[in-house]
Amino acid sequence: MFTGYTDQTVDVFWGIRFNNDRAWFAEHKQEFQDAVTTPTKALAGELYDWFQETYPDLHLNVHISRIYRDARRLHGRGPYKEHLWFTIERPHERFESVPALYFELAPNYYSYGCGYWEAGAATMAKLRARIDNAPKPLERLARRLNKSKFVLSGEEFKRPKGDAGKLLNPWYNRKNIAIGYDDNPEGVLFTPQLKGEVLDGFRFLMPYYQYLDTLAGDMEPNR
């Protein structure tokens, strides 16, 4: 049962940031297991159970990231990531074009939301075509989003792809799309109520997740 994270959770992440080497991590591995891995698995599992019960036809999976960096991609950094996350998403072979709901925890923030790890040019072209052909559904979602605590993000094109109007331009002119909420690692993070907060967020985000997820079935423009 998820009972919340602890001060030790944040301390371990700060420890990794300032002591990112194998000797330090080996000495503190049990702390990491107790303060980070165990509660994260509990939170992910309980949220996933809700999805399985509420959206069984989506056939979603839960995936918890590893703390170990890919040894081929260290680029002068330490061997451990300074954050951990889990995603709830459809099975896939590549991250491209598959949106996910996510929760992420780091020493200086926690966040949750939905969107793409890497949308890909074809997916974003499909989004622009859908906006061109039928803007009303996304207009309703955009207005709803603008009244919420969640923020739209993603790298924007230096040269806009077009003008979809003030409301939809932030969606139309991005290379990637994500919708998220960030907060400081305090308060509710250390209580069982975190699960309810994230679950309420996921409930709010499901129409956005489903809108993005159905883009995969759209025809690619100019074909």
Q: 195 pLDDT exceeds 60?
A: yes
**Residue 141 CB: number of other CB atoms within 10 A?**
16
The pLDDT confidence band at residue 74, using thresholds 50, 70 and 90, is low
Rounded to two decimals, the pTM is 0.93
Q: 182 pLDDT exceeds 60?
A: yes
pLDDT score at 158: 93
Q: Write the CB contacts of 52 (distance below 8 Å, at least 6 apart in sequence).
A: 60
The pLDDT confidence band at residue 37, using thresholds 50, 70 and 90, is very high
The pLDDT confidence band at residue 91, using thresholds 50, 70 and 90, is confident
Q: 80 pLDDT exceeds 90?
A: no
Q: Write the CB contacts of 109 (distance below 8 Å, at least 6 apart in sequence).
A: 182, 183, 184, 185
Q: Contact at 8 Å (CB) between 82 and 180?
A: no
Give tens-digit pLDDT for 122-174: 999 999 999 999 999 999 999 999 999 999 999 999 999 999 999 999 999 99
Residue scoring higher pLDDT (70 or 189)? 189
Q: 72 pLDDT exceeds 80?
A: no
